[in-house]
Amino acid sequence: MSLLKTAWKLLIGVKDVLTLLFVLIFFGALYAALSFSPNPAVEARGGALLVTLDGTLVDQKAENDPIAVLTGQASPVHETLTRDVVRALRLAAKDSDIKAVVLDLDRFMGAGAVSLGEVGEALADVRKAGKTILSHATAYSDDSYALAAQANEVWLHPMGGVLIAGPGGSQPYFKGLLDRFDVNLHVYRVGKYKSYVEPYLLQAASAEAKEADQALVDALWEDWQTKVKAARPKADIASFAQDPVAALQAGGGDLAKAAQAKGLIDALGSDRDFGTRVAKIVGGDEDRGPGDFNSTSLDAYLAANPEDQGGDVVAVVHVAGEIVDGDAPDGVAAGDTVADRIDQAVQHLDAKALVLRVDSPGGSAMASEKIRQAALAAKKAGLPVIVSMGNVAASGGYWVAMAGDKVFAEPATITGSIGVFGLIPSFEKTLARYGVTSDGVKTTPLSGQPDVLGGINAEGDALIQGGISDIYRRFTGLVSASRKLPLARVEELAQGRVWIGGTAHQNKLIDAFGSLDDAVAEAARRAKLDPADISVVHVEPQAGWLQRLFEPAARVTAAEMRIGADPVSHLVALRQAQMGTALADARHVMDGPAVQVRCMNCPPVRLSAPAKPSTWFNRMFH
């Protein structure tokens, strides 16, 4: 009887806790729902347009999964849409109520080269309109300085600094670890530059991979320097980047003064000093005290200036992130999800033209083909299909692009990587170490294959490699037909080689340089529409109230990641995020489909936190 009483009390206690939790969540959700959207009439009050770039710039935000937020598995990097920043800056350039643009880059974690270029061009338009741009940060790195360079006044905290590292760096190689556990990795690939699998085969990069990687980072570095030098010709970027120790010594050991001496910044000052300077231009905010200034936040400004939705629809469907099979929320490009959005544009939005915006390093070959087929179906329905490449459109991303009537890219776009690979681990040696063996019966050589316990036999290996080779032939044949290039020429350009946009254009892998706006205008013209009188609809789900509720928790800022504000800590944090992305990449390769068209040389579309490995990776190494 006492046991029943104890159990009953326990159940009552659990019920009370759950009730309290529900009440807290309910009122928290109610508060968030009521306070989430900025009130344009109150907040959009002119003065300075305050562009606070916490986290990263992306083409498409990752969706918030409330369960992932509650269990602590959400991405730790806040994301801002590049197109939102560009639109706000273009509006501000013509808005008489906006006297200046202020860039808060203290917690900016970076963006792709194309995104940086688009925002940089919009900032240049603000300057051409005669308005002042002011930037402030405690630490500037490559990406944040690329934007700050566009400012009339670049401010730096006296305890801060500028650290320009340039593209490049190291990545983990797992062969030694795999050998330690006697994992037998079966690798199938076509293309001598298809180096995605090298971290599992080698302990260092091959000569071919280093050749391709070096050419890529050299091109990106040259593009970065050219743009920064054009925006800020007085800055001695070359000597500062190539000999930072000498620059530091010349500055008396002071990072901030070293940057100022080289012309990278204009003024040293605290947040309050900077705010006082801005207030002299746009007016002070008396309600908030000294160092504050009249400003309008980015979100409030966009809310006060909604996009016009009139005229015929040109639909934009995003292929953003890793390409995966099936359905998935935004953050990855799921084949079924993207294909359904293309169908939705044709059948329900009555779109007159379609633009595929590709910002992906590839992934599943089957999912890539499903997206391409959906785009071809749109063409059969009479819609022009134009492709706009973002930061990365490589491997599976390039496969998708072959559906386009015309392909736009930017000089800094990373594309190509025409190659295929497959990777299957087997554990016969690992199990044998612990006395575990396998046996069974067969009816054909393929019975039980691929056998991850007993080993993959010669017939299985041959057939899998044959399938990989067949997909490679399909890939090169598709490129040959779509780009109107001889197959022999495609073979020269393929082999998994990654190209920057400028070289890709010379090699006829793309048609023209241009932004997403250029692609939309081209799509409108081909549909016999006036580009000035169309409605551009990005076919993606609108965030519901539950997603908006959990966004602050799911997209924590750099400060909440316990990243120090000083320049060294900031640089370390960037490297840690990149390492997290590399480890997450390794997990995706092992857990993903056996056949993939994915680019290793390409930078990530978004930064990831180190994730817990799953399946065999988890069982072996945890």
* pLDDT tens digits, 429-463: 998 999 988 888 999 988 888 888 888 999 988 98
**Cα–Cα distance, 249 to 166 (Å, whole number):** 21
* pLDDT at residue number 65: 60
pLDDT at 207 over 70: yes
As a whole-number percent, the residues of the chain with pLDDT over 70 amount to: 76
Domains of the chain, with CATH numbers? 312-419+481-538 (3.90.226.10)
Q: How many whole angstroms separate alpha carbon 57 and alpha carbon 51? A: 12
Structure confidence by residue, pLDDT tens digits, 496-554:
889 999 999 999 999 999 999 999 999 999 999 999 999 999 998 865 545 555 555 44
Tell me which of 248-252, 471-475, 604-608 is least confident. 604-608
Q: Is the entire prediction scored with pTM above 0.95?
A: no
pLDDT at 338 over 90: yes
Residue 368 has pLDDT above 90, yes or no: yes
Spatial separation of the C-alpha atoms in residues 317 and 354, rounded to whole Å = 7
Q: pLDDT band at 607, cuts 50/70/90?
A: low
How confident is residue 8, by pLDDT bands cut at 50, 70 and 90? low
Distances (CA, A) of 241 to 147, 194, 528: 17, 31, 49
Q: How confident is the model at residue 287 (pLDDT cuts 50, 70, 90)?
A: low
Catalytic residues: 194, 395
pLDDT category of residue 188 using cuts at 50, 70 and 90: confident
Residues 220, 113: Cα–Cα separation, whole Å? 8
Q: Which residues contact 214 (CB under 8 A, 6 or more apart)?
A: none
Cis peptide before 603 (omega within 30 of 0): no
- pLDDT score of 330 more than 80: yes
pLDDT tens per residue, range 380-398: 999 999 999 999 999 999 9
pLDDT tens digits, 39-77: 444 445 579 999 999 889 999 998 866 555 555 555 557
Q: Predicted confidence band at 28 (pLDDT cuts at 50, 70, 90)?
A: low
Query: Average pLDDT of 420-428?
Result: 87
Mean pLDDT, the chain, integer: 84
Better-scored residue on pLDDT, 28 or 361? 361
**Does residue 486 register a pLDDT over 50?**
yes
Local confidence band at 308 (pLDDT 50, 70, 90 cut-offs) = confident
pLDDT the model gives residue 39: 46
How far are the Cα atoms of 387, 398, 568, 574 from residue 164, in angstroms, in the given order?
Answer: 33, 31, 11, 12
Calpha distance 163→379 (Å, rounded): 48
Q: Are 104 and 155 contacting, i.e. CB atoms less than 8 angstroms apart?
A: no
Of 17-21, 229-233, 297-301, 343-347, give the lowest mean pLDDT range.
17-21
487 pLDDT higher than 90: yes
> For 123-175, how does the pLDDT look when each residue is reduced to its tens digit (9 = 90+)?
999 999 999 999 999 999 999 999 999 999 999 999 999 999 999 888 889 89
From the centroid of its chain, how far is CA 481? 30
Mean pLDDT across the stretch 17-25? 64
pLDDT of residue 512: 97
* pLDDT of amino acid 190: 81
Alpha helices in 359-457 (DSSP H): 365-380, 396-401, 428-433
Residues 435, 455: Cα–Cα separation, whole Å: 15
